[in-house]
Chains A and B, each alone.
Chain A
Amino acid sequence: MTKYDAIVIGAGHNGLIASSYLAKAGKKVLVIDARSQAGGCASTKAFAKAFHVSDCAQWVHQLDDKIVKELSLEMHGLRLGRAKRTIALQSNGDHLIIDGDSLSGAGISGSDKKAYKEFSSQMRAFAKLMLKLYRTRAPKLVEADRGDKLTLLSLGLGLKMMGRKNMQDMMRLVLINIYDVMNEHFEHDGLKAAVALDAITGTNMGPRSPNTVFTYIHRMVGEALGNRGVSQVMGGMGSLGGALLSSAKTQGVEVRLGEAVAHIVKTDDRVTGVELSSGEVLEAAVVVSSADPTTTYRDLLGYRNIEAGQARRVEQYRTRSGTGKLHLALSGPPSFTGVSDEDHSQRLIIAPSMDAMETGLNPIKYRELTSQHVFDISIPSIEDPTLAPAGQHVLTALVHYVPYDLKTGWDSNESAREQLLDSLLAQLEGYAPGIRDLIVASEVLVPEDFEASHGVTGGNWHHGELSIDQALMMRPFPGSTQYTGSVEGLYLCGAGSHPGGSLMGLAGKNAAEEILKQGVLS
């Protein structure tokens, strides 16, 4: 039987990136994914005949420039669209345009413009510092080895170099909520909400949830990684998956798609391979899972194969997402009031105020539907007409808040889904009158759907809530940090490991580097 150096579970971006770096170092690597399409949450599907959407992640805003270069992703077909401006739609039509650190729009004051530049500059400084920590495994604090101590030293120096004010601010800000910080800085409700949206995307948190400044800085790391705002991937997100797949194959990675890993095989006290649902057993020196920690430990390895304390950590790891998605196939170009034709290709957001967002969050705490949603909209077919038939369009929107575990259940609960779709469209129509008449097909995805289609527990594309107690040196949880767990031969390389979620790729890269550094592969 072929014995691999590493079997990587999941051909998501982190799985493929980890594989590529391992293969680049001369290791024999196999990647297995239950889905027939590579890319994980970077995927494209035709949700209606000839209408293609990025059916999970819709924006690239954190992808590491360095990885793109090192894995020659552009050569393998990755094409990013233009950096987009954010247009925060206001009900009175005086929209707010955010372009980098400059603001424009009828309703925005001079003092807000100035404050936003200052705020952005400070956040960028914080993000740059954070990136130091993101580019390496998160240091252990108590059992720190030499490498960990160097990381901490560099972090400490970086903190000091920012100057007294920034240092004090960072210590003060990372644990508090974005709501208070926005009110400290700005006047414009729409501006506050626009920033707050970036702090809560993909989470189960509201602007007033603790450590939402941390999640905002996490998002800003994207800029330090070479991104400017958000971009779409030409051809749909699946093309990013395709480029990663092609790059991995060029490195010699063997890829098996459409085959599910039934469980991780443990022989005596170590992991020795995987068993596929077909019953086939594959052996490897190490198994590297890019599945989320819950799936990895609870479902694939099994609680009875790990120590009880770790099973407890997994069980308590928070994974519920509050983000859903709306897909619309449109017979013609939609028209948002007060938005120029050209600007329809930008990122459009609907987040009237932070209070509206927080109010929208409240019902989902009690597992109920909310009627006040927050939208992060993309109409990708404007920049990329290949996604829809000529003259027609697709609209995708990340929508908050959608409960993961609706009280009445989502399963075959058509009325709840209809109610959700209806309330989304009603709200959307307030900004784009007549949009209902253009709809050829529609689809609403709730967190549970992402769980089913993409295998992410809780429907959480961060592979677990990105709160500070589950981040950095505590990601996903103590006892499983630095890409390893308590079981020899098993590694984590997904978004559930440091530095966490969004299409970034550093978790995969760091994990591969850590495995190579440990010298566990011959």
Chain B
Amino acid sequence: MSAAERKTMLLTTPFHSRVEQYCELNDWGAWQGYTTPNSYFDVELEYFAIRSTAGVLDLSPMNKYRISGPDAEAFLNRLVTRDVSKIGVNRVGYAVWCNDAGELMDDGTIFHLAENDYRLCSYMRADEWLEWNALGFNVTINNESDDIAALAIQGPVSCTILTLIGCEGLNELKPFGIARFDFEGVEMMVSRTGFTGDLGYEVWIDPSKAETLWDQLFDKGRDYLIKPIGSNALHMARIEAGFLQADVDFVPAEIAVRPGRTRTPLEMGLDWQVDFNKPLFNGRVALLKQKEEGLRYRFVLLDVEGNKPAEHSFILKNGKQIGIVTSAAWCPTAKSNLAFAQVEMPHGAVGDEFVAEIYYQRELQWTRLMAPCKVIDGPLFNPPRKRQTPAPAH
């Protein structure tokens, strides 16, 4: 479809005809070159669909790379900071990767589809970096971003609805597991993964079946109050769940221009992702050095007093700026005003108290609010159903 035909210079996803129909607010945003809704009808109601029923997010713009060949595991193990050999077949693992300087480039998920056959989902386009990484490895890298349509179905009734469209026995799938079903004669892959911190799934299918999949989900899910959700609602859910986002909470190394603006995984609270027992991975030498010499920053989750989101706030300690908020939201289910922040070391230990300098506008009037805030340990939204197998029925 040409740009003129689709009325935008951005690309459209395989679900576009349906997304457009549901996007009542006509509120579109760009995601990696694709047009996707910021919100469909009401951000709060979309958010509550995730938490109370089921929310559907079109995640087709996600970059998807198929990595296969005899050296696929070895290749990935050099690429990412974690130990990939611990991701079993039909399992999914979260991963982050760095350049040689230990600067965080991106985060994503690794789908172990079969022996030495993986799919890497990334936020950033990674074609060039992956090609450079392939030097010396017997591995094939195929960008299959446009070959696969993907939807996230997240929330308490997600399993129930997917079972109704033919995913028999899906409730037995463990978190981070992969299952395959037949859908209209093609394979539909379902993974128990997501970005909302709740029970939820991601569905991967041939683009030709995208519209049918959408139609069936909304048809069978109508009685369960299934709703489409845009990126704004997802933003609230992911902050509540404690998930950081590339290009929001840190500047990916490949697009950082100013010196000192990148962060290492250690500075982003991702040390649990870094396995120094591996003899080699990109950034290992630099990260070891940083571990020895000390971090510059710490990434913290803040509980902010009041109900004004601390978007873009300065974080102060005794009146002196020691950090910045990277993302923030009032989180309705946790009933908390949460913020992610990068603070300078040695600040940021759990329990540390700061002040967030919040500016907000009401009827042209700007107000400055000095809100006390406190470093907390872990996300405030963490329901048992997220982990339960079999997934609870509704």
Contacts and interface: CB of A to CB of B under 8 A. Distances in A.
Interface string A24-56: 000000000000000000000000000000000
B135 A309 contact: no
A384 B109 CA distance: 70
A310 B74 CA distance: 17
Interface string B278-295: 011111110000000000
B100 A302 contact: no
Contact of B136 (A268, A269, A303): A303
A232 to B, nearest CB: 42
A269 to B, nearest CB: 4
B135 A486 contact: no
Given A302-B136, A486-B100, A308 B79 contact: yes
Contacts, number: 52
Nearest to A303: B136
B282 A312 contact: no
A269 B74 contact: no
Contacts of B283: 307
Nearest to B102: A307
Given A479-B100, A486-B100, A307 B136 contact: no
Interface size class of A (residues with CB under 8 A): 10 to 19
Main secondary structure of the interface of B (DSSP, over half): loop
Tell me whether chain A's interface is mostly helix, strand or loop, or mixed. Answer: helix
Nearest to B136: A303
A267 to B, nearest CB: 8
Contact of B280 (A269, A298, A312, A479): A269
A14 to B, nearest CB: 26
B279 A312 contact: no
Interface string B68-96: 00010010001100000000000000000
Interface in A265-318: 266, 268-269, 298, 302-312, 315
Contacts of A310: 100
B284 A308 contact: no
B65 to A, nearest CB: 15
Nearest to A306: B280
Contact of A309 (B137, B279, B280, B282): B282
B45 to A, nearest CB: 45
Contacts of B272: none
A302 B138 CA distance: 13
A83 B284 CA distance: 52
Question: Quick one: which of B79, B280, B284 has the most chain A CB within 10 A?
Answer: B280
B243 to A, nearest CB: 26
Contacts of B100: 307-310, 479, 486
A134 B306 CA distance: 64
Contact of B279 (A269, A302, A308, A315): A269
B285 A307 contact: yes
B129 interface: yes
B232 interface: no
B133 interface: yes
Given A479-B100, A486-B285, A308 B280 contact: no
Contacts of A298: 136
Contacts of B71: 304
Nearest to B75: A304
A268 B135 CA distance: 20
A245 to B, nearest CB: 34
A268 B284 CA distance: 12
A308 B74 contact: no
Interface in A195-247: none
Contacts of B78: 304, 307-308
Contacts of A304: 71, 74, 78, 136-137
Interface in B18-58: none
B132 interface: yes
A486 B280 CA distance: 11
Contacts of B99: 308-309
B254 to A, nearest CB: 11
Interface of B: 71, 74, 78-79, 99-101, 129, 132-133, 135-137, 279-285
7 contacts: A298-B136, A303-B137, A304-B71, A304-B74, A304-B137, A308-B129, A479-B100
The 4 nearest A-B residue pairs measured at CB: A303-B136, A309-B100, A304-B136, A308-B133
